[in-house]
Amino acid sequence: MVEINASSNRIEGCVQLSASKSISNRLLMIKAISNSSFELYNLSESDDTKILNQILSNTSLPNEINCHHAGTTLRFLTAYLSTIKGTFRVFGSDRMHQRPIKPLVDCIHKLGIEIRYLENEGFPPIEILGNETIEGGELTIPGNISSQFISALLLIAPKLKNGLSLRIIDPILSIPYIKMTLSLMQEMGIKYVWDKNTIHIEHQAYSTRNLAAENDWSSSSFIYSLASLSNESKIEIPHLYSESVQGDFYVSELYSHLGVETSFHKGGITIKKNNQVSTKLEFNLSDFPDLALPYVVSCAGLGIEVYLSGLESLKIKESDRLVSIKKELSKFNVECEINDHSIYVPKNQLIKYNGMVIDDHNDHRIPMSIAPLAIKTESNIIFKDSLVVNKSYPLFWDDLKKLGFNIVN
């Protein structure tokens, strides 16, 4: 349990974010698939990356693999283990066993690999009977599911004997994450062609070169939220740049509508609060779903009417995120309207914390999204679990301290 309050509505300081979890995990997979010994630097300190790195660092992969809460790890490993001779049982937490994996498994079945569901059809845990020689060929996958399924197949594509032609059925969600995967593969020597809705990758070898992961634009969304809710702010965030493979770079544009301006310089970025705040906003965030929660909380805290759509993928995250954020915002006298793909928050709702403990729903992004509301409340906000943030942003509470928040564990 942790309690926080804001000592001031003026925020100034410097926050050094860690490396991108998304980039780190993809680079770890590329290293494993290429079976090479090149060096990776500045990897994320998140639990998800540590879990994946620990699994892949084994001299020989274990037959029983526990991915815990790490969805990316389980999905990437499902594809990767299919290309290795052996029998592997892959499982995770209770919530992980509620997150569907059928579209990915169906594709791997079509590649000739046997995967068995050990409990419920379409969900982990699973047993994979891997094979070193996979022909490859043509596959079709829905685009309105997790982009991690698509990335998992793309990462192994160069290893397949005949490569892979992957047709993605419209609508395609989270396109920037697919582009991130392809960009990192290209940086490691892989050639591809993206023609309309089909990505073609021939059989080829990853090159070996040392690489460092970029710092995390996604984590910056919580710092942007703090800036937006403050009366005055100036926050330095080193090592974030406009030339980025991360789609969540879009956070700088998104928060410009909430009065946060971003200045780019050689060392990173500086964000400042100004008075240019919109009164009504509407965005389709299908390409940037991870930005939805901090953004909707920021709008609620500022009394801004907002409608965010394109959020289908949030149902199958660590929690059903729209349901979770609606429940936690109600503890601040904020009512939301949600459905399977959108959230709407009416304007001018009075922020009033009722003192109830904020439940994290075993989801790291819930407490990190809610925490900035401390600027708008007089009493301490109480969070159920301080450690859940370790999944993606282990230093979150420490960074709040740096920015003047009082944190009581």
The catalytic site residues sit at 290
Whole-number Å distance between alpha carbons of 42 and 365: 22
Element (DSSP H or E) covering residue 262: strand 258-265
Nearest partner of 91 among 60, 127, 57, 115, judged by Cα:
127
3-state SS record for 15-39: CCCCECHHHHHHHHHHHHHHCCCCC
**DSSP letter assigned to residue 350:** P
Whole-number Å distance between alpha carbons of 153 and 281: 36
Concatenated DSSP letters of 355-408: -PPBP-TT-THHHHHHGGGGGG-SSPEEES-SSGGGGT-TTHHHHHHHTTEEEE
Whole-number Å distance between alpha carbons of 218 and 296: 15
Whole-number Å distance between alpha carbons of 216 and 220: 7
